[in-house]
Structure 1
Amino acid sequence: MARVIALVIVLPVRLVWDALGYCLKQLWRWVLAPIGRALGWLIHHLIVIPLRFLWEWVFVPVGRALWWVIDLLVVTPLKWLWGWVLFPVLKALWWVVDLLVVTPLGWLWRYVLAPVGRAVGAALAWAWDVAGRISRAVGRALGWVLWNLIGRPLAWTYRVILTPVGHWLRTWVWAPVASVARAVRAAAREVRVALFGGPR
């Protein structure tokens, strides 16, 4: 029964599909393909062949003629100008610049500026080294003076006066005050417990 229902539903769809496929095949065979061939023939004979003729008989000869004119009127004169005028002038200018500027500057650098620079650099390095030694000696002397004027008296005062005074204050002042404070706290706790009750 299910197969019969499926066949009844699928059969019309398949018939329409096959009919559509047949119609499209006939349309392609008898209409679209001949129109395409005709359009291809027209494009070939009306566009491709004239463009090929135009390229071979107009553009290429005109391009060759233009290149010949450009070569004759521009390229060849520029080559001649470069080879016989610009290059010799530039060569002569370079010779003059080398003779009047480069060679004297090289000589000046080699025999004057470089030796003077080396001498100045050596003098500055020596001065820097000597200044460093002097600075270290001054620093040691200043440290010795500061230690003997300030550091040694402060160390003596701390060791001889402040340390014994601190021990005396800790033993005879701080310890009794701390024990009295503990006794006062304990008494206050007992009063609070007596008046308000202890913690729950």
Structure 2
Amino acid sequence: MNTENTGCLTAVARGIALVVVLPFRLLWDALAFCLRHLWRWILAPLGRALGWLIEHLLVIPLRWLWRWVLAPVGRALGWLVEHLLVIPLRWLWQWVLAPVGRALWRVVDLLLLAPLGRLWRHVLAPVLRVAGAALAWAWGIAGILSRAVGRALGWVLWNAVGRPLAWAYRTVLTPVGHWLRRYVWGPVAEVARAVRAAAREVRVALFGGSR
């Protein structure tokens, strides 16, 4: 491509870019101009006026109120609380409550805690240990006696009741049962079977049906 064609293409591209970009640049410059004059002639004076109003109507009165009213009243209230409440309470605790509390603790310790401690160490604890050991020993002995009594009662009941019953069962009831089964229940069962067979024959003879 020769230099003449390149120059033509460059000129055409620049012309198209100028046509596209020019409206945006004009809009940007107009907007910047408007914002600059808006800030210069409206927003900045309005901000300075608001700052002056806040300074003179709020900050200066609050500063004056703090310096000449609130701070002195706070210092006065602090002085009153310190001298009318804190110092008397500190003095009351230091010279009345704390000594009285220590004295009461000494009295309670001497008259109640120390005697109770000696009573526990020298009387109650030894008595409880001896009583516990005695109860443990008695529990063991009672267990031995209970097992011996149980074995004795078992022996007595076996010889007084169990052994005679076993002898009676072997020598009396068992032979009687065999005799009854052979000579009483056997014939009775045979008679019952014969009666049932006869009844079945009568039913079949009278009403028909399977036997």
Q: TM-score range by the shorter chain?
A: 0.5 to 0.7
Q: What residue in structure 1 maps to residue 10 of structure 2?
A: none
Q: What residue in structure 1 maps to residue 163 of structure 2?
A: 152
Q: Partner amino acid for 2:198?
A: A
Give the number of equivalent residue pairs. 154
Q: Partner amino acid for 1:87?
A: A
Q: Extract unaligned runs of 5+ from structure 2.
A: 1-49
The structure with higher relative contact order (CA 8 Å, sep 6+) is 2
Which residue of 50, 74, 81 corresponds with 2:92? Answer: 81
Secondary structure of 1:162's match? helix
TM-score by length of 2: 0.63
1:182 paired with 2:198, answer no
| Aligned mates of 2:185, 2:100 — CA distance in 1 | 105
- Offset, 1:148: 0.9
| Aligned mates of 2:144, 2:206 — CA distance in 1 | 79
Which residue of 98, 102, 115 corresponds with 2:113? Answer: 102
Q: Partner amino acid for 1:122?
A: A
1:111 paired with 2:109, answer no
TM-score by length of 1: 0.66
1:132 paired with 2:162, answer no
Q: Extract unaligned runs of 5+ from structure 1.
A: 1-40
Which residue of 99, 102, 116 corresponds with 1:91? Answer: 102
**Root mean square deviation of aligned Cα:** 2.8
- Offset, 1:131: 2.3
Q: Partner amino acid for 1:111?
A: H
Q: What residue in structure 2 maps to residue 171 of structure 1?
A: 182
